[in-house]
Amino acid sequence: MYTFEELKKGALPKHLAIIMDGNGRWAKQRGKLRVFGHENGVKAVRETVENCAKLGIDCLTLYAFSTENWNRPKLEVDTLMRLLVASLKKELKTLNKNNIRLNAIGNISSLPKKAHKELLEVIEKTGKNTGMTLTLALSYGAREELKTAVQQICAKVKNNIISPENIDETIINNHLYTQNLPDVDLLIRTSGEHRISNFLLWQIAYAELYFIDVFWPDFSEQHLVEAIINYQNRERRFGKTSEQLN
Ligand code: IPE
Ligand code: IPE
Ligand code: MG
């Protein structure tokens, strides 16, 4: 058992990203429909957000719905969108109480009207908060994000706003959905899958990866603290040698 206090001795990841996976299998294990897993996943989201804010994490990014998830059965997609709207409505107060600013990445205009509107409203109503930035990845796909960035940069080249030889990593960064966020320091994926599933491909270039077997609805404060302690015990060399760092 680790405590919050132990964790505060080391450096926290500035940007923590989580692939919240395993809701469907969690429900199946209990003989229930997949949507039951999503309903229980919401609880884990709420707890994780509050714990990260309490800890003092600057940026938390949650993969909530991928561009590929549109291919799921309609009932499941509808349920996820309904849960999104309900959670946004319900959590606005808590976000403000915890000084959390909501942000979204992804092709959010492709969300159902109601979800899109509610999302923009909560983003606006939490916009002045100065604590943690909570980013929801919704209808997000890293390849779609990169494609959009390339289109925007090409348009600027065409209009002589940027010249090709001046395109650098900063310019690319500034055209991504994550333009205001630092690179990911720690990426956690639950459910035992060891893959990235089209999440933040550019931004995780030097992230520490942490895979855990528990299904998302079971992800607890203890799992979060363990993941961060594990992260704190790694040596991030960024291409250098261990000796150079000391
Ligand atoms: C993650 O759980 C939630 C979303 C992708 C929206 P899944 O729904 O992928 O659950 P599994 O992976 O099928 O168990
Ligand atoms: C990734 O999970 C997307 C989210 C967690 C929102 P998936 O369950 O969709 O990923 P794959 O299909 O197993 O790779
Ligand atoms: Mg899954």
Catalytic residue numbers? 21, 69
pLDDT of residue 3: 79
Q: Which residues surround ligand 3, an ion (CB under 5 A)?
A: 21
Please tell me whether residue 135 adopts helix, strand or coil conformation: strand
Contacts of 159 (CB under 8 A, 6+ apart): none
Q: Is the CB of residue 95 less than 8 Å from the CB of residue 122?
A: yes
Tokens of residue 105, six digits: 């990445």
Ligand 2 pocket check for 19: Cβ under 6 Å = yes
User: Above 80 in pLDDT, residue 2?
Assistant: no
Convert the pLDDT of each residue in 98-125 to its tens digit: 999 999 999 999 999 999 999 999 999 9
| Mean pLDDT computed over 221-228 | 97
* Domains, the chain: 12-140+184-232 (3.40.1180.10)
Lining residues, ligand 1, CB within 6 Å: 20-25, 65, 69, 80, 191, 216
How far does the centroid of ligand 2 lie from the alpha carbon of residue 212, in Å?
15
How far does the centroid of ligand 2 lie from the alpha carbon of residue 199, in Å?
9
Beta bridge partners of residue 59, listed in sequence order = 15, 133
Ligand 2 pocket check for 65: Cβ under 6 Å = yes
Ligand 2 pocket check for 57: Cβ under 6 Å = no
Ligand nearest to the CA of 38: 1
* Geometric angle at alpha carbon 60, from 33 and 237, rounded to 5°: 120
Convert the pLDDT of each residue in 180-198 to its tens digit: 999 999 999 999 999 999 9
Convert the pLDDT of each residue in 13-58 to its tens digit: 999 999 999 999 999 999 999 999 999 999 999 999 999 999 999 9
Atom 2 of ligand 2: nearest residue by CA position: 21
Ligand 2 pocket check for 198: Cβ under 6 Å = no
Distance CA 161, CA 153 (A): 9
pLDDT of residue 7: 83
Residue of 48, 191, 214 to test ligand 1 pocket, by largest number of atoms within 8 Å of CB: 191
pLDDT of residue 179: 97
Ligand 2 pocket check for 129: Cβ under 6 Å = no
pLDDT of residue 160: 98
Ligand 2 atom index nearest CA of 24: 8
pLDDT of residue 8: 78
Cα 20–chain centre separation: 9
User: Above 80 in pLDDT, residue 216?
Assistant: yes
| Mean pLDDT computed over 72-87 | 98
CA 198, 201, 203, 209 torsion-angle sign:
positive
* Geometric angle at alpha carbon 173, from 16 and 205, rounded to 5°: 50
How far does the centroid of ligand 2 lie from the alpha carbon of residue 77, in Å?
13
Distance CA 151, CA 83 (A): 33
pLDDT of residue 127: 98
- Specify the higher pLDDT residue, 1 or 177: 177
Ligand 2 pocket check for 177: Cβ under 6 Å = no
pLDDT of residue 207: 98
Ligand 2 pocket check for 140: Cβ under 6 Å = no
pLDDT of residue 6: 81
Convert the pLDDT of each residue in 126-185 to its tens digit: 999 999 999 999 999 999 999 999 999 999 999 999 999 999 999 999 999 999 999 999
Would residue 40 be called left, alpha or beta, if left means φ above 0 and alpha means ψ between -120 and 50 degrees? Answer: alpha
